[in-house]
Amino acid sequence: DIQMTQSPSSLSASVGDRVTITCRASQGISSFLNWYQQKPGKAPRLLISAASGLQSGVPSRFSGGGSATRFTLTISGLQPEDLATYYCQQSYNLPWTFGQGTKVEVK
Coil, helix or strand for 45? strand
Q: How far is the CB of 96 from other proteins (least distance, A)?
A: 4
Binds other proteins by CB under 8 A, chosen from 45, 61, 65, 67: 45
By the rule CB under 8 A, 37 interacts with other proteins: no
Binds other proteins by CB under 8 A, chosen from 25, 34, 75, 104: 34
Asked if residue 74 lies in contact with residue 18, where contact means CB atoms within 8 angstroms, the answer is yes
Interacting residues toward other proteins by CB under 8 A: 32, 34, 36, 43-46, 49-50, 55, 87, 89, 91, 94-101
